Structure 1
């Protein structure tokens, strides 16, 4: 049975005891705008109180990916137009939706196939049953655009093994399926060609009956995670107390011939990490490092999302880097952002603290 919500790009269906919310924006790999987020929340709330439903599936029509994140072009236009109310409406809706998925009263299964980044991680990775495929590419890419991880992502990063979270957060490095499972962003590897069979099994409730047990019938053993192989040097470098100290240690590790010859690191090498940090704005790096570490100390999803929301409003109302980063990556595509601050020495402790002390209307009660 199909249900109608306020945005046609969000599809809602019920089949026996399975509720299903599907993102249908294939031309943009599911990029989210306010209408989509609000419709998604509308569908989620209705299914949460539907007595016929005992499992929820989140997926997308686009084989290229589940969700590429927020609609950055629209966000850029809203900020440059000075429409802060519209920006605030989007982020409040998105962040509360992410928390609502985590609080859903029944098991939630997500298909994080293909591109699942930023806002897509917020939708997919707070669920209890998270499926990735051989096509999956997960990341929190916010530092690429001069911003900091959000959508509850800093808690996922904080809970990753060792200092993997700091590494992924600061560099915006991408994870394949094995990396995502190792880092705690996913639970099961299923072949892309088997996703339709998983959907059918969830609909028909073939034995075993619980979603987690059922998916084990399709579960594949991932290859060894390159992130696991990189854990030693990552913990060494990214446990340092500041971004300059991390850079310095990465430079030392990049010169280590043993690490240079370690083939199982895949893309996760000290030299690659150092090169990525050189592309990121110093302010975003400092705030991101602090944000992940505060999330680790806090440990509560809603409190972490509140922190991310304050940071977002601080960026939108006081800092030009996010708008400039979107311009360089998505609008003009010149890959030449002009960051406000260009060196670590310009980022003072007082500036970082001011971001975390920014006042914003609470999201949750």
Structure 2
């Protein structure tokens, strides 16, 4: 009997690999004949590099700028001429020094530096995962690292960060076009927000990055000004494109300046892991994430994994820390049943602090339900 475990991380608690190991231990305790196959899962946010390295890519280290300019050791994952870059690992929220937010000045420059390194090393296909960003800079830092110039009225470079874009008056893109010639760029993006307005980058995600209501208003003005400048430079307006507001506007420059294709992050990651072949013929697929809620239903990892399982004719169950979804909601996205840690331990903080024994117990419960 083959069970495939393809769970995302439980954010802030336990990684995808540890989820799989604990659930696998529990499955084998309950049914010793069960064979467990772990497929690493991520959706383009934090954990993406680890997932693709576990799937057979090689990690190439790169030192680049963190969100507030300090150097951090990150890198990209490579297989053949394909590179995978994770924004969160370079200049995401997890890289803020001391966890202190910098909503007005944080920059996406570092991820552009890693992209530049991958391209310089001969990678002709680059997949960029953009979840978990710390900045709302419209992607200006990223394209500056690739050779663009963002200048003020005096012809000087504007400061890093979203607030600095209010002073931008001209944009030079010749160097970036030359650098990206022959490069296929795909962006893994799991949101559909536009760049500006009430559902835009600043309004929707700015508060999560430490922005006050006043900051949000200023950043939204900066994004609108930036969109006007980019539009006049490239000849088309992409501010309303689905996903333009992702990662504080990185999605916007990806489409408008870099000519990137935006795709659902989980679908891309499953392709890279060879998921369809791995799940074919399995008796059960176990997916999961820290919390199953309404956000899950908007295309997060669990839904993507479940859809692939259903397409392969494999029954799907989920493990999680907390589940707020009704059974019918789960069944509509292909999940037959959810097993939650807080069904075993009602203290959520204990679930977060020590999830492995509880995950092992959930594995035993799943084994007992196997037919």
TM-score, with length taken from structure 2: 0.29
Higher gyration radius (CA): 2
Greater share of strand residues, 1 or 2?
Answer: 2
Greater share of helix residues, 1 or 2?
Answer: 1
If asked which structure has higher relative contact order (CA below 8 Å, sep 6+), I would say: 2
